């Protein structure tokens, strides 16, 4: 799937300036590894990988179920693009529109989780480690944050060890190793880093405009850090 998806087309559906995601965490997070493999659409490679699957000759019997969130209509565009791309390698994809709360309920149990859920995820802190734990640690299975149900005890130990490492350089090196392992495993299709556009008056002292604050999860809108001098 990672090799069959058309990332350029997907990025073109978003804001101008949007870039393809590099690995499993956004590029703005401290500890992000910019050197991981970045998947590109390569149907020959996709077919080569698919041929190794034990279900390769029974794709029609095993449709991929994609849930997209009805409250975010744009998600349908990506689901339809995915459906079209997967058809190019013989995969049948069924798209299901669901309300957000239904997706939360669906992903709470392995038996009801869809094959794929379209999800926007933001890190609670501007560092790679917490997002890695949110997304791929066994403790988050059964939540909307990890429809992958990865449950890899070795990976869990690596994430916990990295988060407990105080030295920045050593911790970031551990994050990089985890990101490389995840890219090799490809439990997700990482599409793009979401771009936010904000208009503001030049009489407002907004630290984010000078890159003096984190741009993650709304921290750039921390009002006590702003000043106003409109005369």
- What's the pLDDT score for residue 216? 65
- What's the pLDDT score for residue 227? 87
- What's the pLDDT score for residue 103? 97
Q: What is the mean pLDDT of residues 87-101?
A: 97
- What's the pLDDT score for residue 16? 85
Buried b (16+ CB within 10 A) or exposed e, 143-174: ebbbbbebebeebbebbeebbeeeeeeebbeb
Residue 145 pLDDT more than 80? yes
Which domains are seen in the chain, by residue range?
Answer: 7-195 (3.10.105.10), 198-231 (no CATH)
Which is more confidently placed, 223 or 58?
A: 58
For residue range 158-210, what is the model confidence (pLDDT) as tens digits? 999 999 999 999 999 999 999 999 999 999 999 999 877 778 888 888 888 88
Task: Report in angstroms the alpha-carbon separations of 151 from 148, 155, 156, 159, 187.
Answer: 9, 8, 8, 12, 11
Task: Report in angstroms the alpha-carbon separations of 227 from 198, 201, 205, 218.
Answer: 16, 11, 5, 17
Which residue bears the tokens 């480690």?
129
pTM to 2 decimal places: 0.88
- What's the pLDDT score for residue 28? 86
For residue range 1-20, what is the model confidence (pLDDT) as tens digits? 999 999 999 999 988 889 99
Q: What is the mean pLDDT of residues 62-70?
A: 96
Which tokens hold the place of 34?
């910019």
Sequence-distant (6+) residues with CB within 8 A of 223 are none
DSSP per residue, 15-41: -TT-EE--SSS-TTSBT--TTS-----
**Element housing 65 (H / E):** strand 64-69
- What's the pLDDT score for residue 77? 95
- What's the pLDDT score for residue 226? 85
Which tokens hold the place of 6?
């058309």
């Amino acid at each position: 799937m990672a090799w069959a998806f058309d990332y350029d087309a997907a990025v073109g559906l978003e804001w101008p300036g949007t870039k393809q995601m590099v690995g499993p965490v956004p590029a703005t997070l401290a500890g992000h590894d910019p050197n991981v493999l970045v998947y590109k659409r390569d149907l020959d490679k996709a077919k080569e990988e698919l041929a190794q699957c034990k279900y390769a000759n029974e794709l029609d019997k095993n449709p991929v179920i994609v849930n997209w969130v009805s409250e975010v209509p744009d998600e349908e565009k990506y689901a339809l693009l995915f459906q079209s791309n997967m058809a190019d390698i013989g995969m049948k994809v069924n798209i299901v529109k669901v309300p957000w709360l239904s997706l939360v309920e669906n992903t709470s149990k392995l038996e009801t989780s869809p094959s794929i859920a379209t999800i926007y995820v933001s890190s609670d802190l501007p560092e790679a480690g917490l997002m890695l734990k949110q997304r791929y640690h066994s403790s988050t299975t059964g939540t909307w944050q990890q429809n992958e149900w990865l449950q890899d005890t070795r990976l869990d130990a690596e994430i916990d060890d990295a988060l407990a490492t105080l030295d920045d350089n050593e911790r970031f090196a551990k994050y990089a190793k985890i990101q490389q392992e995840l890219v090799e495993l490809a439990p997700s299709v990482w599409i793009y880093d979401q771009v936010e556009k904000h208009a503001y008056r030049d009489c407002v002292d907004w630290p984010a405009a000078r890159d003096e604050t984190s741009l993650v999860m709304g921290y750039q809108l921390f009002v006590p850090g702003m000043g106003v001098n409109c005369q």
